[in-house]
Chain A
Protein backbone atom coordinates (compact mmCIF):
# COMPACT_ATOMS: atom_id res chain seq x y z
CA UNK A 1 0.00 0.00 0.00
CA UNK A 2 1.17 3.50 -0.86
CA UNK A 3 1.03 6.18 1.84
CA UNK A 4 0.42 9.82 0.89
CA UNK A 5 1.26 12.34 3.60
CA UNK A 6 -0.20 15.72 2.80
CA UNK A 7 -2.42 18.48 4.13
CA UNK A 8 -6.11 19.31 3.99
CA UNK A 9 -5.21 22.98 3.59
CA UNK A 10 -4.64 22.75 -0.12
CA UNK A 11 -1.87 21.70 -2.37
CA UNK A 12 -1.83 21.77 -6.12
CA UNK A 13 0.23 18.61 -6.59
CA UNK A 14 -1.89 16.45 -4.33
CA UNK A 15 -5.05 16.05 -6.48
CA UNK A 16 -3.01 15.11 -9.55
CA UNK A 17 -1.22 12.42 -7.58
CA UNK A 18 -4.50 11.07 -6.24
CA UNK A 19 -6.08 11.10 -9.70
CA UNK A 20 -3.30 8.90 -11.04
CA UNK A 21 -3.55 6.54 -8.06
CA UNK A 22 -7.26 6.17 -8.73
CA UNK A 23 -6.73 5.66 -12.43
CA UNK A 24 -4.13 2.96 -11.82
CA UNK A 25 -6.41 1.37 -9.18
CA UNK A 26 -3.55 1.50 -6.70
CA UNK A 27 -3.87 0.63 -3.03
CA UNK A 28 -3.23 3.83 -1.14
CA UNK A 29 -4.03 5.75 2.01
CA UNK A 30 -3.83 9.48 2.79
CA UNK A 31 -2.75 10.87 6.16
CA UNK A 32 -2.80 14.53 7.16
CA UNK A 33 -1.52 16.30 10.25
CA UNK A 34 -4.89 18.00 10.60
CA UNK A 35 -6.66 14.65 11.03
CA UNK A 36 -4.47 13.79 13.98
CA UNK A 37 -4.78 17.13 15.78
CA UNK A 38 -8.53 17.26 15.14
CA UNK A 39 -8.84 13.63 16.29
CA UNK A 40 -10.68 12.56 13.14
CA UNK A 41 -9.20 9.07 12.72
CA UNK A 42 -8.79 5.95 14.84
CA UNK A 43 -5.13 5.59 15.74
CA UNK A 44 -3.51 2.90 17.86
CA UNK A 45 0.14 2.12 18.41
CA UNK A 46 0.77 -1.30 19.91
CA UNK A 47 3.55 -3.87 19.77
CA UNK A 48 5.58 -1.50 17.63
CA UNK A 49 2.89 -1.31 14.95
CA UNK A 50 1.06 1.85 13.86
CA UNK A 51 -2.64 1.23 13.18
CA UNK A 52 -4.53 3.91 11.29
CA UNK A 53 -8.25 3.39 10.82
CA UNK A 54 -7.66 -0.31 11.37
CA UNK A 55 -4.83 -0.59 8.83
CA UNK A 56 -1.46 -1.74 10.09
CA UNK A 57 0.74 0.84 8.37
CA UNK A 58 3.95 -0.71 9.68
CA UNK A 59 3.17 -3.89 7.81
CA UNK A 60 1.10 -2.70 4.85
CA UNK A 61 2.97 0.36 3.64
CA UNK A 62 5.62 -0.17 0.96
CA UNK A 63 6.42 3.44 0.06
CA UNK A 64 5.58 6.98 1.09
CA UNK A 65 4.97 10.13 -0.94
CA UNK A 66 5.44 13.07 1.40
CA UNK A 67 4.16 16.47 0.42
CA UNK A 68 3.79 18.37 3.67
CA UNK A 69 2.59 18.04 7.23
CA UNK A 70 0.52 20.91 8.61
CA UNK A 71 -1.50 21.30 11.75
CA UNK A 72 -4.45 23.69 11.99
CA UNK A 73 -3.10 26.79 13.76
CA UNK A 74 -6.27 28.72 14.39
CA UNK A 75 -9.00 26.46 15.64
CA UNK A 76 -10.70 27.24 18.94
CA UNK A 77 -11.16 24.91 21.87
CA UNK A 78 -12.15 27.69 24.25
CA UNK A 79 -12.84 31.44 24.16
CA UNK A 80 -10.02 32.18 26.61
CA UNK A 81 -7.32 32.93 24.04
CA UNK A 82 -4.34 32.32 26.34
CA UNK A 83 -5.82 29.03 27.49
CA UNK A 84 -6.60 28.18 23.87
CA UNK A 85 -3.04 28.94 22.71
CA UNK A 86 -1.38 26.89 25.43
CA UNK A 87 -3.78 23.97 24.95
CA UNK A 88 -3.09 24.00 21.21
CA UNK A 89 0.62 24.11 21.85
CA UNK A 90 0.31 20.94 23.90
CA UNK A 91 -1.79 19.30 21.19
CA UNK A 92 0.80 20.19 18.56
CA UNK A 93 3.61 18.72 20.65
CA UNK A 94 1.64 15.52 21.09
CA UNK A 95 0.84 15.39 17.36
CA UNK A 96 4.52 15.95 16.62
CA UNK A 97 5.45 12.99 18.81
CA UNK A 98 2.96 10.84 16.91
CA UNK A 99 4.31 12.08 13.60
CA UNK A 100 7.93 11.46 14.63
CA UNK A 101 7.07 7.93 15.69
CA UNK A 102 5.17 7.29 12.45
CA UNK A 103 8.09 8.55 10.38
CA UNK A 104 10.65 6.52 12.28
CA UNK A 105 8.37 3.47 12.23
CA UNK A 106 8.26 3.72 8.42
CA UNK A 107 11.86 4.73 7.87
CA UNK A 108 12.75 1.45 6.15
CA UNK A 109 10.18 2.17 3.41
CA UNK A 110 10.99 4.09 0.24
CA UNK A 111 10.24 7.79 0.74
CA UNK A 112 9.76 10.48 -1.86
CA UNK A 113 11.46 12.76 -0.92
CA UNK A 114 13.98 10.87 1.21
CA UNK A 115 12.79 10.88 4.82
CA UNK A 116 16.08 12.16 6.20
CA UNK A 117 16.23 15.05 3.72
CA UNK A 118 12.77 16.59 3.81
CA UNK A 119 14.40 19.98 4.25
CA UNK A 120 17.78 21.36 3.26
CA UNK A 121 19.88 24.22 4.53
CA UNK A 122 20.02 26.75 1.70
CA UNK A 123 23.49 28.05 2.56
CA UNK A 124 24.85 24.54 2.79
CA UNK A 125 23.31 23.72 -0.58
CA UNK A 126 24.87 26.82 -2.16
CA UNK A 127 28.29 25.77 -0.92
CA UNK A 128 27.83 22.19 -2.18
CA UNK A 129 26.67 23.54 -5.55
CA UNK A 130 29.76 25.71 -5.76
CA UNK A 131 31.99 22.68 -5.01
CA UNK A 132 30.30 20.76 -7.84
CA UNK A 133 31.05 23.58 -10.26
CA UNK A 134 27.82 25.55 -10.51
CA UNK A 135 27.98 29.32 -10.76
CA UNK A 136 26.29 30.77 -7.72
CA UNK A 137 25.65 34.46 -7.03
CA UNK A 138 28.25 35.82 -4.61
CA UNK A 139 26.63 36.30 -1.25
CA UNK A 140 27.24 37.43 2.29
CA UNK A 141 25.32 36.75 5.49
CA UNK A 142 25.94 39.42 8.07
CA UNK A 143 24.44 41.62 10.76
CA UNK A 144 27.10 44.34 10.41
CA UNK A 145 26.55 47.50 8.43
CA UNK A 146 30.24 47.92 7.56
CA UNK A 147 30.31 44.42 6.00
CA UNK A 148 27.13 45.17 4.07
CA UNK A 149 28.53 48.49 2.79
CA UNK A 150 31.73 46.79 1.58
CA UNK A 151 29.72 44.08 -0.20
CA UNK A 152 27.37 46.71 -1.68
CA UNK A 153 30.26 48.78 -3.05
CA UNK A 154 32.10 45.71 -4.38
CA UNK A 155 29.12 44.90 -6.58
CA UNK A 156 28.48 48.42 -7.88
CA UNK A 157 25.57 48.97 -5.52
CA UNK A 158 23.62 46.24 -7.31
CA UNK A 159 22.67 43.72 -4.66
CA UNK A 160 19.53 42.08 -3.35
CA UNK A 161 18.45 40.58 -0.05
CA UNK A 162 16.24 37.58 0.60
CA UNK A 163 15.41 35.08 3.32
CA UNK A 164 18.17 32.72 4.42
CA UNK A 165 15.52 30.00 4.73
CA UNK A 166 11.84 30.53 4.01
CA UNK A 167 9.53 33.16 5.46
CA UNK A 168 5.87 32.44 5.82
CA UNK A 169 3.07 34.98 5.48
CA UNK A 170 2.39 37.22 8.47
CA UNK A 171 -1.13 37.44 9.85
CA UNK A 172 -2.44 40.21 12.11
CA UNK A 173 -5.28 40.39 14.62
CA UNK A 174 -7.44 42.43 12.23
CA UNK A 175 -7.12 39.86 9.43
CA UNK A 176 -4.42 41.53 7.33
CA UNK A 177 -1.92 39.34 5.56
CA UNK A 178 1.59 40.57 4.83
CA UNK A 179 3.77 38.77 2.32
CA UNK A 180 7.48 38.94 3.06
CA UNK A 181 8.79 36.34 0.63
CA UNK A 182 9.77 38.57 -2.26
CA UNK A 183 13.37 39.42 -3.09
CA UNK A 184 14.22 43.08 -2.33
CA UNK A 185 16.84 45.42 -3.73
CA UNK A 186 19.21 47.32 -1.46
CA UNK A 187 19.83 51.00 -2.07
CA UNK A 188 21.72 53.91 -0.48
CA UNK A 189 18.58 55.21 1.18
CA UNK A 190 17.94 51.96 3.06
CA UNK A 191 21.58 51.46 4.02
CA UNK A 192 21.72 54.97 5.47
CA UNK A 193 18.78 54.19 7.76
CA UNK A 194 20.20 50.89 9.05
CA UNK A 195 21.81 50.65 12.49
CA UNK A 196 25.45 49.49 12.79
CA UNK A 197 24.22 46.08 13.93
CA UNK A 198 20.99 44.87 12.33
CA UNK A 199 19.27 41.50 12.30
CA UNK A 200 21.37 38.91 10.47
CA UNK A 201 20.37 38.82 6.80
CA UNK A 202 21.44 37.34 3.47
CA UNK A 203 22.65 39.63 0.67
CA UNK A 204 23.45 38.54 -2.87
CA UNK A 205 24.97 40.06 -5.96
CA UNK A 206 22.11 40.67 -8.39
CA UNK A 207 22.32 38.55 -11.54
CA UNK A 208 20.91 40.17 -14.66
CA UNK A 209 18.20 37.82 -15.83
CA UNK A 210 17.87 36.72 -19.41
CA UNK A 211 15.73 33.78 -18.41
CA UNK A 212 14.59 32.18 -15.19
CA UNK A 213 14.56 28.38 -15.09
CA UNK A 214 13.01 25.80 -12.87
CA UNK A 215 14.29 22.28 -13.30
CA UNK A 216 12.13 19.53 -11.85
CA UNK A 217 14.03 16.41 -10.91
CA UNK A 218 12.77 12.94 -10.18
CA UNK A 219 14.82 9.75 -9.96
CA UNK A 220 17.77 10.82 -12.12
CA UNK A 221 15.65 12.58 -14.72
CA UNK A 222 15.47 16.33 -15.25
CA UNK A 223 12.53 18.30 -16.59
CA UNK A 224 13.72 21.84 -17.42
CA UNK A 225 11.21 24.68 -17.63
CA UNK A 226 11.69 28.25 -18.80
CA UNK A 227 9.82 30.72 -16.61
CA UNK A 228 9.12 33.63 -18.93
CA UNK A 229 9.11 36.17 -16.11
CA UNK A 230 10.93 38.77 -18.21
CA UNK A 231 7.85 39.26 -20.35
CA UNK A 232 6.02 41.19 -17.64
CA UNK A 233 7.15 44.23 -15.67
CA UNK A 234 5.56 42.88 -12.48
CA UNK A 235 7.44 39.58 -12.56
CA UNK A 236 10.78 40.78 -13.99
CA UNK A 237 12.44 41.04 -10.62
CA UNK A 238 10.69 38.21 -8.79
CA UNK A 239 8.59 35.69 -10.73
CA UNK A 240 6.57 34.87 -7.63
CA UNK A 241 4.99 38.31 -7.91
CA UNK A 242 1.95 37.58 -9.98
CA UNK A 243 -1.60 38.72 -9.94
CA UNK A 244 -4.81 37.16 -11.16
CA UNK A 245 -4.27 38.64 -14.62
CA UNK A 246 -0.49 38.21 -14.94
CA UNK A 247 1.13 34.83 -14.63
CA UNK A 248 4.50 34.00 -16.20
CA UNK A 249 4.37 31.60 -19.15
CA UNK A 250 6.06 28.27 -18.54
CA UNK A 251 7.67 26.42 -21.43
CA UNK A 252 9.60 23.14 -21.61
CA UNK A 253 13.15 23.91 -22.67
CA UNK A 254 16.47 22.16 -23.27
CA UNK A 255 19.49 22.76 -21.09
CA UNK A 256 23.14 21.91 -21.77
CA UNK A 257 24.15 18.35 -20.97
CA UNK A 258 26.87 19.64 -18.65
CA UNK A 259 24.22 21.40 -16.56
CA UNK A 260 22.11 18.22 -16.38
CA UNK A 261 25.17 16.28 -15.23
CA UNK A 262 25.86 18.81 -12.48
CA UNK A 263 22.22 18.66 -11.37
CA UNK A 264 22.40 14.87 -11.10
CA UNK A 265 25.61 15.15 -9.11
CA UNK A 266 24.18 17.78 -6.76
CA UNK A 267 20.99 15.81 -6.11
CA UNK A 268 23.04 12.68 -5.36
CA UNK A 269 25.35 14.65 -3.06
CA UNK A 270 22.31 16.01 -1.21
CA UNK A 271 20.61 12.57 -1.17
CA UNK A 272 17.51 13.98 -2.85
CA UNK A 273 15.41 11.77 -5.12
CA UNK A 274 12.96 14.56 -6.05
CA UNK A 275 13.12 18.33 -6.06
CA UNK A 276 12.82 21.53 -7.97
CA UNK A 277 15.91 23.59 -8.70
CA UNK A 278 15.92 27.28 -9.56
CA UNK A 279 18.40 28.84 -11.97
CA UNK A 280 18.98 32.13 -13.73
CA UNK A 281 20.45 32.39 -17.21
CA UNK A 282 22.30 35.71 -17.28
CA UNK A 283 23.05 38.01 -20.21
CA UNK A 284 26.43 36.25 -20.75
CA UNK A 285 24.60 32.93 -21.19
CA UNK A 286 25.90 31.62 -17.87
CA UNK A 287 23.62 29.54 -15.68
CA UNK A 288 23.47 30.49 -11.99
CA UNK A 289 22.16 28.04 -9.44
CA UNK A 290 19.91 29.67 -6.83
CA UNK A 291 18.33 26.96 -4.69
CA UNK A 292 16.74 23.55 -4.52
CA UNK A 293 13.46 22.71 -2.87
CA UNK A 294 13.13 19.01 -1.94
CA UNK A 295 9.36 19.10 -1.45
CA UNK A 296 8.53 21.86 -3.91
CA UNK A 297 5.22 22.19 -5.66
CA UNK A 298 5.45 20.40 -8.97
CA UNK A 299 1.77 20.33 -9.91
CA UNK A 300 1.44 23.66 -11.68
CA UNK A 301 4.74 23.29 -13.50
CA UNK A 302 4.08 19.70 -14.48
CA UNK A 303 0.63 20.42 -15.90
CA UNK A 304 1.43 23.65 -17.68
CA UNK A 305 4.47 22.16 -19.40
CA UNK A 306 2.77 18.77 -20.04
CA UNK A 307 5.71 17.00 -18.42
CA UNK A 308 3.18 15.07 -16.35
CA UNK A 309 5.68 14.16 -13.65
CA UNK A 310 2.96 12.94 -11.30
CA UNK A 311 2.49 9.98 -13.63
CA UNK A 312 6.20 9.12 -13.44
CA UNK A 313 6.03 9.30 -9.64
CA UNK A 314 2.94 7.11 -9.43
CA UNK A 315 4.33 4.55 -11.90
CA UNK A 316 7.43 4.31 -9.74
CA UNK A 317 5.45 3.97 -6.49
CA UNK A 318 3.14 1.34 -7.96
CA UNK A 319 6.12 -0.73 -9.12
CA UNK A 320 7.60 -0.53 -5.63
CA UNK A 321 4.30 -1.52 -4.07
CA UNK A 322 3.87 -4.45 -6.47
CA UNK A 323 7.33 -5.77 -5.63
CA UNK A 324 6.71 -5.30 -1.90
CA UNK A 325 3.47 -7.28 -2.07
CA UNK A 326 5.19 -9.99 -4.10
CA UNK A 327 7.97 -10.29 -1.50
CA UNK A 328 5.42 -10.54 1.33
CA UNK A 329 3.67 -13.45 -0.39
Chain B
Protein backbone atom coordinates (compact mmCIF):
# COMPACT_ATOMS: atom_id res chain seq x y z
CA UNK B 1 0.00 0.00 0.00
CA UNK B 2 2.87 2.36 0.90
CA UNK B 3 4.42 1.79 -2.49
CA UNK B 4 1.12 2.47 -4.25
CA UNK B 5 0.76 5.74 -2.39
CA UNK B 6 4.29 6.80 -3.27
CA UNK B 7 3.53 5.98 -6.91
CA UNK B 8 0.46 8.22 -6.83
CA UNK B 9 2.41 11.09 -5.31
CA UNK B 10 5.11 10.59 -7.96
CA UNK B 11 2.43 10.81 -10.68
CA UNK B 12 1.02 14.01 -9.15
CA UNK B 13 4.52 15.51 -8.79
CA UNK B 14 5.28 14.72 -12.40
CA UNK B 15 2.05 16.44 -13.50
CA UNK B 16 3.03 19.53 -11.48
CA UNK B 17 6.52 19.62 -13.00
CA UNK B 18 5.02 19.30 -16.48
CA UNK B 19 2.77 22.30 -15.90
CA UNK B 20 -0.45 20.29 -15.76
CA UNK B 21 -1.31 20.84 -12.07
CA UNK B 22 -0.88 23.84 -9.70
CA UNK B 23 2.32 23.93 -7.60
CA UNK B 24 0.56 23.34 -4.23
CA UNK B 25 -0.16 19.79 -5.41
CA UNK B 26 3.57 19.07 -5.24
CA UNK B 27 4.50 16.55 -2.52
CA UNK B 28 0.92 16.18 -1.36
CA UNK B 29 0.38 14.19 1.77
CA UNK B 30 -1.02 10.70 1.67
CA UNK B 31 -3.81 10.07 4.13
CA UNK B 32 -3.88 6.86 6.09
CA UNK B 33 -6.92 5.00 4.86
CA UNK B 34 -7.84 3.42 8.19
CA UNK B 35 -7.75 6.73 10.05
CA UNK B 36 -9.66 8.42 7.27
CA UNK B 37 -12.39 5.78 7.25
CA UNK B 38 -12.64 6.02 11.01
CA UNK B 39 -13.05 9.78 10.77
CA UNK B 40 -15.74 9.44 8.12
CA UNK B 41 -17.59 6.97 10.32
CA UNK B 42 -17.29 9.28 13.32
CA UNK B 43 -18.55 12.18 11.29
CA UNK B 44 -21.62 10.41 10.01
CA UNK B 45 -24.69 12.04 11.37
CA UNK B 46 -26.68 9.79 13.61
CA UNK B 47 -30.21 9.02 12.55
CA UNK B 48 -31.74 11.04 15.35
CA UNK B 49 -30.35 14.22 13.83
CA UNK B 50 -32.13 13.55 10.57
CA UNK B 51 -35.53 13.38 12.21
CA UNK B 52 -37.76 16.39 12.26
CA UNK B 53 -38.37 16.13 15.97
CA UNK B 54 -37.02 14.08 18.81
CA UNK B 55 -38.98 12.72 21.74
CA UNK B 56 -38.74 15.34 24.45
CA UNK B 57 -37.17 12.90 26.88
CA UNK B 58 -34.24 12.43 24.55
CA UNK B 59 -33.93 16.15 23.90
CA UNK B 60 -33.31 16.90 27.55
CA UNK B 61 -30.74 14.12 27.66
CA UNK B 62 -28.94 15.61 24.69
CA UNK B 63 -28.90 19.08 26.11
CA UNK B 64 -27.51 17.78 29.40
CA UNK B 65 -24.62 16.40 27.38
CA UNK B 66 -23.91 19.87 26.07
CA UNK B 67 -23.74 21.25 29.57
CA UNK B 68 -21.43 18.44 30.56
CA UNK B 69 -19.03 19.49 27.83
CA UNK B 70 -19.19 23.13 28.79
Contacts and interface: CB of A to CB of B under 8 A. Distances in A.
Contact of B43 (A12, A170, A175): A12
A139 B5 CA distance: 32
A162 B31 contact: no
Q: Secondary structure at chain A's binding surface: helix, strand, loop or mixed?
A: mixed
A161 B23 contact: yes
Interface string B59-70: 110110110011
Interface residues on A, range: 35 or more
A156 interface: no
Nearest to A304: B69
Contacts, number: 126
Contacts of B29: 178-180, 182, 241
Contacts of A198: 16, 19, 23
A9 B70 contact: no
A23 B28 contact: no
Interface of A: 8-12, 14-16, 18-20, 22-23, 25, 28-30, 32, 143, 161-164, 167, 169-170, 172, 174-180, 182-184, 186, 190, 193-195, 197-203, 241, 244, 303, 306, 308
Interface of B: 1, 4-5, 8-9, 12, 16-31, 33, 35-36, 40, 42-46, 49-50, 52-54, 56, 59-60, 62-63, 65-66, 69-70
9 contacts: A9-B45, A11-B43, A14-B45, A22-B53, A22-B62, A23-B63, A163-B24, A175-B33, A178-B28
Given A10-B40, A306-B70, 11 more contacts: A19-B66, A172-B8, A176-B8, A177-B30, A178-B29, A180-B28, A182-B29, A195-B17, A199-B23, A201-B23, A241-B29
